[in-house]
Chains A and B, each alone.
Chain A
């Protein structure tokens, strides 16, 4: 079996009401729920803006994409916003294929 990189999350409050959530490792079937639970708890607290740093993600599967959509929808339900501030070219390609680049706020492409 392919070795998995452990999924890690780190939350930093960077301004009042704004948190930076840094993800690394594999966001997949086994770890997707962890992300959603964490984000939901943040929105249920005082977080109004959530910045996601995805540049450390090694792999993401359909459940991982679903978790990101769930976070996006949860933000909407709490009158909060979600923004992706960093990502890999693989993720950018994936968001393009799934047309999520038109939904998520993504950082401008570095040339």
Chain B
């Protein structure tokens, strides 16, 4: 047996000395049985001459006397692989690592190792890593939007192809008769549509999911019952179906319908768990977006009432106004101004109002709306400020909403024949308007009064201002004078600075004055807008304009 190799194995090394004889077959068998690896020893023509028990367990088909390259074992023992190198191959449920060595000219030994468990563990770790990465990516993409449609879109785009071949998000019916859906198939484009609510009953598990019932395992859902509207054209029939609720804030945010091709892998327990985790994230994102959209819609409705109204063009006088809301996200301010024109039967002049309601947010917006509406109604009966203000106070006291407090400045304006504007001015708990005279003098209107909505007994003053051509009267809210900023960042702008700034505006058109004061105030705040700021100015039209 000279020339056998590898010599280093020391199995059959020929030695000089007292034990020259080669090991017998029994010894050889004992040696290969002792190893943990499966060993298949082949002679000429790849006929198996010896195997051990481990090999027989892994590859039951091989028997001594039969060729190893025939039948189902051919793929394992093919000659096409280099000697000494390991490779892995699947054999039935097992995964085997195979290596062969050539001994002499006629013998070849195959070494088999069962690596099924190792591979499974590695695969599991890999799959776990992929699932974690998927959930992280899902969290990242779902958090990126506060729009329900974009969240639903991200949901179906994430789900395909990682979770299924088709993903469809069905949004809950919001009082209408239809439900909206978004779908993605493979790497195809996003598809959207809507179906009547009644159609959701046809999809196994969908109506239950939309109602917020916990998901049922995929194996209980018959994919054969999936109606056509769920599956895109050309998809064929679904092999596996999984319907999962998207849990929202107390109410379901919709349902996720997943389907896989016929013949594809079924949804096992692990993927169902993953889908549930994913669905809870998607549901949270969609419901947060829905809540946000609802809130923004409400905010838009409410702040629509507070938008700067278009100022009318009036004979003999010029008007300009500016309204800047505080920067607090989502908070709607309570400053407003309005110019009410007398109706055709009325005798008085237009009424200018600038007001500030107590508080912030939706409550303030509703209150501001009430005040403006009440003024419009009361004006049909009464336009003298000294009568109008107490009526408004009574109307606010009757309000059931807490803190229905308002401060305002209001005045009726009339032009006389000489280009002068006469204003009957009253204030209620509000900073007194400022008057800019033609020579640059600034006066504070000598008038004050109680804030409204707080007390039964109120003080109301009325003064009549006479504005010569070019002169103006400025209404402002305390957001202008109580703005903290300046060089130190904590200094209050104050009435004196406003007066000084106004004094430099003599002779300017009223629109330019309002713009300038607004700019000065913004510069003082250095970008930190803490409160609403409103300005409304009326100017007797200058001669020649």
Chain A interface residues toward B at CB < 8 A: 1-3, 29, 61-63, 65-66, 69-70, 73, 96-100, 102-103
Say whether, besides A2-B484, A62-B407, A66-B405, A99 and B359 are in contact (CB < 8 Å).
no
Given contacts A29-B360, A99-B458, contact A66 B450 (CB under 8 A): no
Given known pairs A63-B359, A97-B431, A97-B432, the reply for A102 and B450 (CB within 8 Å) is yes
Contact A63 B403 (CB under 8 A): yes
From residue B533, how far is it (CB to closest CB) to chain A in Å?
A: 14
| Residue pair B448, A66 in contact (C-beta under 8 Å) | no
Residue of A whose beta carbon sits closest to that of B431: A97
B505 to chain A, nearest CB (A): 23
Find A97's partner among B448, B458, B531 (CB 8 Å cutoff): B448
Q: Does the CB pair A100–B528 fall under 8 Å?
A: no
> Measured between C-beta atoms, what is the minimum distance from A97 to chain B in Å?
6
Q: Would A97 and B356 count as touching, CB distance under 8 A?
A: no
For the complex formed, measure the closest distance between the CB of A83 and the CB atoms of chain B, giving whole angstroms.
Answer: 16
The verdict on A1 contacting B528 (CB below 8 Å), with A66-B359, A70-B403, A97-B430 known, is yes
Q: A2, A65, A97, A100: which contacts B490 (Cβ < 8 A)?
A: A2
Please name all residues of chain B whose beta carbon is closer than 8 Å to the beta carbon of A3 when the two chains form the complex.
Answer: 490
Task: Mark B449-482 against chain A: 1 for CB-CB distance below 8 A, else 0.
Answer: 1110011001100000000000000000010001
B375 smallest CB distance to A (angstroms): 19
- Whether A62 contacts B448 by the Cβ 8 Å rule is no
Which residues of A sit under 8 angstroms from B429, Cβ to Cβ? 97-100
**Bound state CA distance, A69 and B455, in angstroms?**
8
Check A2/B359 contact, CB under 8 A, given A97-B429, A99-B429, A103-B450: no
Q: Give the complex CA separation of A66 and B406 in angstroms.
A: 10
- The answer on a CB contact under 8 Å between B448 and A99 is yes
The secondary-structure label for the interface of chain B is: loop
Q: How far is the CB of A99 from the nearest CB of chain B, in Å?
A: 4
B359, B360, B430, B451: the one within 8 Å of A100 (CB) = B451
A98 lies within 8 A of B451 (CB):
yes
29 A-B pairs with CB atoms under 8 Å apart are A1-B528, A2-B489, A3-B490, A29-B360, A61-B482, A62-B356, A63-B403, A65-B405, A66-B454, A69-B405, A70-B403, A73-B454, A97-B429, A97-B431, A97-B432, A97-B448, A98-B407, A98-B429, A98-B430, A98-B451, A99-B448, A99-B449, A99-B451, A99-B458, A99-B459, A100-B429, A100-B451, A102-B459, A103-B455
Q: Does the CB pair A62–B358 fall under 8 Å?
A: yes
**Considering only CB atoms and an 8 Å cut-off, how many residues of chain B contact the other chain?**
29
Which residue numbers of B lie inside 8 Å of A, CB to CB? 334, 356-360, 403, 405, 407, 429-432, 448-451, 454-455, 458-459, 478, 482, 484, 489-490, 528, 530-531
| Chain B min CB distance to A107 (Å) | 20
Q: How far is the CB of A13 from chain B (nearest CB, A)?
A: 28
Question: Is B530 in contact with A2, judged by CB distance below 8 angstroms?
Answer: yes
CA gap between A63 and B458 in the complex, in Å: 19
4 closest cross-chain pairs (CB), A and B: A98-B429, A99-B450, A69-B454, A62-B358
Kindly list chain B residues whose C-beta atoms are within 8 Å of the C-beta of A63: 358-360, 403
Complex contacts, A102 vs chain B, CB 8 Å: 450, 459
Chain B: CB-nearest residue to A90: B492
Asked whether A65 and B528 contact (CB < 8 A) given A70-B403, A97-B430, A98-B429, the answer is: no
> How many Å lie between the Cα of A78 and that of B403 in the bound state?
19
Least Cβ–Cβ distance between B478 and chain A, in angstroms: 8
Q: In angstroms, how far is the closest chain A Cβ from the Cβ of B298?
A: 19
What's the nearest-Cβ distance from chain B to residue A40, in Å?
12
Q: What separation, in Å, do the CA atoms of A99 and B407 have in the docked complex?
A: 11
B430 CB contacts on chain A under 8 angstroms:
97-98
Minimum Cβ distance to chain A for residue B149 (Å): 33
Among B356, B448, B458, which residue has the most Cβ atoms of chain A within 10 A?
B448
Residues of B within 8 A of A98 (CB): 407, 429-430, 450-451
**Shortest CB distance B242–A (Å):** 48
Cα distance, A111 to B450, chains bound together (Å):
25
B359 touches which of A1, A29, A73, A96 (Cβ 8 Å): A29
Given contact pairs A2-B528, A99-B448, a sample of 9 additional A-B residue pairs in the complex whose CB atoms are under 8 Å apart: A62-B334, A62-B407, A69-B405, A97-B448, A98-B429, A98-B430, A98-B450, A99-B429, A100-B451
What is the chain B residue whose CB lies nearest that of A69? B454
Distance between Cα atoms of A69 and B528 in the complex (Å): 29
